[in-house]
Chain A
Amino acid sequence: MKTSVVNRSFTTAEIVPAIGVYVCQCGLNIGKTVDCKKVAEKAATLPGVALARDITYACSEPGQMEIVEDIHAHGLDRVVVASCSPRLHEATFRNMMKQAGLNPYLMEMANIREQCSWVHMETPGAATEKALDLVTMAINRARLLMPLTEEIVPVEKKTLVIGGGIAGIQAALDLADNDYQVTLVEKTGSIGGMMARLDKTFPTMDCSI
C-alpha cells in the first residue's frame, strides 16, 4: 500500500514565479468575440507574470513550439493557457510542459471558449471582461500551483466485457486475439444478442448468425 503523509503546511508558493500567459484566438472561435490582445496586455501587468501574449492556435504544433521556446528563452516556470475547456486540451498542454522539462501540474487553463466566447457572442465587451477575469483567476491559481508527480500503478491485463451481442463479441474477440484475457458476461442463456434473431442483414443481405 502506497501512502502519502505530508508533515508540514504548504508555504513554498511564496517564491516568486515566472508565469507565461497565452491567450488563444482559436482562429475566430475566440478571437472574433474576445479581444485577446487586450486580455494579454492586461495579464502582462499582473504580479508573477513574466510574459503574456495572444496566440492563434495554442494547441497546434507551431503554437506549442512557440510556448516551449518561450519557456526556455525566458525561463518561465509556470504557464497559463487561456483557450478551450481543460476537458479537451489539458492533457495536450500537460504533455507540452513535460517536453519543455517542466512539471505538467504547473500549467493552468482558463476556459475562454466554451465558457466565454461561444456563449457571449452577442456581447463582445462583456466577453472580453469575463475573459480577463477568468485569466486573472487562472494566473492567481498558477502562482500557487505545486509540482506533482504521477504514481505508477500496475494494470491487470484482463478485460471484462458486459454484454454478448455483436458489439461485445467483437470487442472480446479483438482483445482475445491480442492475447488479453477476456471475461464475457451475458445476461441471457446464450451470446448473440439481437443480431442472432435477425434474418438477412443489410447492406450485404447475408445471414446474421
Chain B
Amino acid sequence: MTDAGRHPNITLHTLAEISGVTGYVGNFEVEIIKRAKYVDETACTSCGECAVACPVVFPDEFNEGLASRKAIHIPFPQAVPSSYLINMDECMGRGCSKCMDVCDKNCIDFNMSDGVITEKVGTIVVATGLEPYDPKAMDEYGYTRFENVVTSVEFERLVNAGGPTKGELVRPLDRKVPKSVGFVQCVGSRSRRRGGEHCSNICCMNTIKSTLILKEHYPDMEITVFYMDIRAFGKGFEDLYNRSRRLGVKYLRGLPGSVEELPNGSLQVAVENMATARVDFHELEMLVLALGINAPRGTRELQEMLGLQLTPDGFYLEAHPKLLPVDAATRGVFYAGCAEGPKDIKESVTQGTAAASRAVRLMHKGEIASEPITASVVTDLCNACGICARVCPYNAITVDVKKKIPAVVNTAACAGCGTCGAECRNNAIVLNHFTDRQINTQTDAMLANRPAEKIVVFACNWCSYAGADFAGVSRLSYPSNVRLIRTMCSGRVDESFIWRAFESGAPVVLVSGCHIGDCHYIDANKWTVKRVERIHKKMAKKGIRPERLQLSWISAAEGVRFARVMADMEDIRKTVTGEEIRDTIAILAEP
C-alpha cells in the first residue's frame, strides 16, 4: 500500500470515480470525478487533533459499525494517502468549525469542491473488487434478530489486533469471550434461491483460517463448522484444513435450517445430520456467517462505459476463459482480481501482475496496428444526407449537409460496427471486410440447396457469435440447419440482407446481437432495433408474415440461451410452408 502511495510513477486519486470513457485502445480519454475531502491531503500529517475536537460521532464503516468514528476521520490508521477527510453529510459545518480551530497546518477547507480530471491513457485495468453478500435477505440465520450472529467480515474486525477489540473475540451482546463458536458456510453462495449460484471461492479457506486463529488464541474454544462441501483446492490449503481438524475443530456436513436465541443470549442451531438423517440441535454462544462474494455496485455503469460483458452472476466476462483470462473483449482493457470473479489474495495478485504485463505488451512499442475494418465512403454515390453521421456511435463521420459536401470517415475513430453502411440509403458506404457483396454471397451459398430447410442467422462477433461458440464449447446441441453469418455488430445487418435472404427462399431469418446496454459499439444495436421494426412493418404491408424475421439478444456467456433460441427458430421454421415461401419470392420479385 505505502509503496503504491509514494511511487513516483503512480498518481493516486482516492474518493474518486470514473464518470466517462471515450476513445479506443491506446487513446482512451477518461473523466474522473474526485470528491472533495475538505482536507488538503498533501498538507495533512494525520496528527488526529481534528478528530479529537470533532463532536459528531458516527459508526465506523471500516470496522463494520463495531466501532465509532468522527465526521472528520481517517479511513483507517494505515490509510494511504495518510490523510483525514470530512463526510459533509455528517459535518455541522461552519457553525462548529472545531476541527479548523485545532488544525495547526490549516489543511481544512470547507469550500473545497468536487473536481473533474481528464486523463489520456493507453490501457485500462479494471480491478473493481467485490461486495460481500448482504445476509439480511437470508434471515433464517437470524442476522437481523440476534446480536451474537455476526458476518465473517465483522468477525475479521473482531479478531484483528487493529480492530475495535484489539483482537479479543467478544460476542456483541455481553462482550464476553464465547466458549463456543459456530461457522455457517455458503451464505449467499451456491444457492438457486437466494444470493448467487456461484461458489464464492474464498469462504472455505477464510473460515479454516479463522478457526486456526481462534484455536491459537483460545485453545479450549469449541468450534463447529457447518458446510456443504469444504473446497480446499489450492496449494497448501489441504494442509491448513487438516491442521484445523487436528486442533479439534468439528466439521459437520449440513447447513442450519433455523437459528433461535436462548434466554442466555446463546444460539440454538438446528441442523440435519446428513449421516444419521436426524435433526441435531447445537447450542453455540456465537455464530459467524461466511458471506459469499458478489460483483460490486457500479459494475454495470463501468461495463456500459467501456463496452464490456458480464457473466450471468454479474462479474466481468474475460475475452477467453482459458487463453485470455485477464483480457476484456474490448482491446486495451484488462481485468484483475474479483472484478472478473471471486478469488483469493494470491490469485488477485497473480492477475494484477498478469494484467500489468498484458498492458505493457500492448504499450511498449508506443504504437499499435489498428484493425482496418473501418467504413469508407464511395464519394460518387454520397448525396450528403447526413444519416451516417447521425447514427455513428463514435462521431467518426463528418458530412456538411448544407453545403452538400459528401461524408468523410475518420478511420482512427471508426470502430467498424458498420451501422452507417446499413443505414445509408445510397449504398455509398462500404464497410471493409464486411461489404454487402461479401455478406450476401454467404446468404446465396447457404440457400443454394434446399433453402426451405435452412435457418439464416446474422450474429454479431462479440456477443451472439461468441454465444454460439460458447454453446459449442459446452457441447449443447441444437438444430443442425442453422447457418451463421458473422458481422462485427448487429448494427451492420442491412435491410437488403434480409430481403436477399427471403428472395432466395429463406423460411426464417434471425438477427442477433448484444443485449441492449451491452453493445460493443456503445449503442449501435439500438439502430438494429429500429431497422428490424421498420422491416417488420414492411413485411406486414407486403403480406409476408413478420414472425419469419426474428430479433434476439444473446450474450457471449449465454450458450444455453443460444441453443434455445435456435430451437425456437426451428419451431417457427416448421410453420413456414413451401407455398408461403413461393408466395414471398413472388411478392419480392414484384417491382
Q: In whole angstroms, what is the CA distance A123 to B480 when docked?
A: 8
Q: In whole angstroms, what is the CA distance A152 to B369 when docked?
A: 4
Asked whether B373 lies within 8 Å of A162 as measured between CB atoms, the reply is no
* B123 in the interface (beta carbon within 8 A): yes
Q: Mark A175-194, 1 if CB is under 8 A from B, else 0.
A: 11111111111111111111
Asked whether B4 lies within 8 Å of A169 as measured between CB atoms, the reply is yes
146-202 of chain A: CB within 8 A of chain B: 146, 148-202
Q: How many residues of A contact B (CB 8 A)?
A: 102
* B239 in the interface (beta carbon within 8 A): yes
In-complex Cβ contact of A182 among B10, B32, B476 (8 A)? B10
* A32 in the interface (beta carbon within 8 A): no
CB B448 to nearest CB in A, in angstroms, measures 8
CB B344 to nearest CB in A, in angstroms, measures 8
392-422 of chain B: CB within 8 A of chain A: 408-412
Asked whether B476 lies within 8 Å of A119 as measured between CB atoms, the reply is yes
Asked whether A178 lies within 8 Å of B377 as measured between CB atoms, the reply is no
Asked whether A6 lies within 8 Å of B477 as measured between CB atoms, the reply is no
* A100 in the interface (beta carbon within 8 A): no
Which residues of chain A come closer than 8 Å to B12, judged between CB atoms? 164, 184, 186, 191
Asked whether B461 lies within 8 Å of A87 as measured between CB atoms, the reply is yes
In-complex Cβ contact of B129 among A85, A148, A180, A194 (8 A)? A194
Q: In whole angstroms, what is the CA distance A127 to B334 when docked?
A: 37
Asked whether B320 lies within 8 Å of A167 as measured between CB atoms, the reply is no
Asked whether B466 lies within 8 Å of A87 as measured between CB atoms, the reply is yes
12-27 of chain B: CB within 8 A of chain A: 12-18, 25-27
Which residues of chain A come closer than 8 Å to B206, judged between CB atoms? 202
Which residues of chain B come closer than 8 Å to A152, judged between CB atoms? 367-370
Known: A105-B433, A184-B10, A199-B160. A170 touches B480 (CB 8 A): no
Q: How many residues of B contact A (CB 8 A)?
A: 143
Asked whether A189 lies within 8 Å of B75 as measured between CB atoms, the reply is yes
In-complex Cβ contact of A6 among B159, B355, B377 (8 A)? B377
* A65 in the interface (beta carbon within 8 A): no
Which residues of chain B come closer than 8 Å to A88, judged between CB atoms? 320, 323, 469
* B107 in the interface (beta carbon within 8 A): no
Asked whether B26 lies within 8 Å of A154 as measured between CB atoms, the reply is yes
Known: A170-B356, A191-B80. A141 touches B121 (CB 8 A): no
In-complex Cβ contact of A162 among B10, B126, B432, B480 (8 A)? B126
Q: Name which of A15-23, A55-63, A70-78, A130-138 contacts chain B.
A: A130-138
Asked whether B78 lies within 8 Å of A137 as measured between CB atoms, the reply is no
Q: In whole angstroms, what is the CA distance A143 to B440 when docked?
A: 12
Known: A153-B27, A165-B337, A176-B10. A171 touches B437 (CB 8 A): no
Q: In whole angstroms, what is the CA distance A27 to B20 when docked?
A: 47
89-126 of chain A: CB within 8 A of chain B: 105, 111, 113-116, 118-123, 126
* B180 in the interface (beta carbon within 8 A): no
CB A118 to nearest CB in B, in angstroms, measures 4
* A44 in the interface (beta carbon within 8 A): no
Asked whether B480 lies within 8 Å of A176 as measured between CB atoms, the reply is no
In-complex Cβ contact of A13 among B76, B205, B356, B437 (8 A)? B437
The B interface is mostly helix, strand or loop, or mixed, namely mixed
Known: A6-B379, A137-B445, A151-B412. A202 touches B483 (CB 8 A): no
* B5 in the interface (beta carbon within 8 A): yes
The A interface is mostly helix, strand or loop, or mixed, namely mixed
Which residues of chain B come closer than 8 Å to A87, judged between CB atoms? 320, 461, 465-466, 469
Q: Which of B163, B209, B446, B469 has the most CB of A within 10 A?
A: B469
Asked whether B337 lies within 8 Å of A120 as measured between CB atoms, the reply is no
Asked whether A166 lies within 8 Å of B352 as measured between CB atoms, the reply is yes
Q: In whole angstroms, what is the CA distance A202 to B43 when docked?
A: 37
Q: Which of B28, B80, B351, B411 has the most CB of A within 10 A?
A: B80
Asked whether B14 lies within 8 Å of A168 as measured between CB atoms, the reply is no
* B576 in the interface (beta carbon within 8 A): no
* B353 in the interface (beta carbon within 8 A): yes
Q: B33's closest neighbor in chain A, by CB? A: A185
Which residues of chain A come closer than 8 Å to B367, judged between CB atoms? 152-155
Q: In whole angstroms, what is the CA distance A123 to B11 when docked?
A: 59
Q: Which of A134, A167, A205 has the most CB of B within 10 A?
A: A167
Which residues of chain B come closer than 8 Å to A188, judged between CB atoms? 14-15, 75
In-complex Cβ contact of B445 among A113, A136, A199 (8 A)? A136
Which residues of chain B come closer than 8 Å to A178, judged between CB atoms? 356, 360
In-complex Cβ contact of A193 among B17, B129, B369, B486 (8 A)? B129
CB B560 to nearest CB in A, in angstroms, measures 12
In-complex Cβ contact of B127 among A130, A163, A181, A183 (8 A)? A163
Which residues of chain B come closer than 8 Å to A8, judged between CB atoms? 378, 380
Q: A207's closest neighbor in chain B, by CB? A: B161
In-complex Cβ contact of B372 among A6, A105, A156 (8 A)? A105
Asked whether B363 lies within 8 Å of A192 as measured between CB atoms, the reply is no
Q: In whole angstroms, what is the CA distance A137 to B441 when docked?
A: 7
Asked whether B75 lies within 8 Å of A3 as measured between CB atoms, the reply is no
Q: A203's closest neighbor in chain B, by CB? A: B236
Asked whether B4 lies within 8 Å of A185 as measured between CB atoms, the reply is no
* B348 in the interface (beta carbon within 8 A): yes
Asked whether A197 lies within 8 Å of B157 as measured between CB atoms, the reply is yes
* B89 in the interface (beta carbon within 8 A): no
Q: In whole angstroms, what is the CA distance A168 to B430 when docked?
A: 42
Asked whether B119 lies within 8 Å of A167 as measured between CB atoms, the reply is no
Q: In whole angstroms, what is the CA distance A183 to B32 when docked?
A: 10
Q: In whole angstroms, what is the CA distance A138 to B445 when docked?
A: 9
CB B221 to nearest CB in A, in angstroms, measures 16
* B106 in the interface (beta carbon within 8 A): no
Known: A133-B483, A159-B121, A199-B160. A168 touches B352 (CB 8 A): yes
CB B89 to nearest CB in A, in angstroms, measures 14
Interface residues of B (CB under 8 A from A): 1, 3-5, 7-18, 25-28, 30, 32, 37, 62, 74-76, 78-81, 83, 85, 119-130, 153, 156-157, 159-163, 167, 205-206, 208-209, 212-213, 234-237, 239-240, 298, 302, 320, 323, 334, 336-339, 344-345, 348-349, 351-353, 355-357, 359-360, 362-374, 376-381, 408-412, 430, 432-433, 435, 437-438, 441-442, 444-446, 448-449, 461, 465-466, 468-469, 471-473, 475-478, 480-481, 483-486, 563
Q: List 12 A-B contacts (CB under 8 A).
A: A4-B374, A120-B477, A140-B444, A153-B412, A157-B366, A165-B338, A171-B355, A172-B356, A180-B359, A181-B11, A192-B79, A203-B236
- Closest A-B pairs by Cβ, 3 of them: A167-B337, A170-B352, A114-B472
Interface residues of A (CB under 8 A from B): 1-10, 13, 85-88, 105, 111, 113-116, 118-123, 126-127, 129-130, 133-134, 136-141, 143-146, 148-203, 205, 208-209
Apart from A165-B337, A181-B11, list 9 A-B contacts with CB within 8 A.
Answer: A87-B466, A119-B471, A167-B339, A167-B351, A175-B125, A180-B359, A196-B78, A197-B76, A202-B240
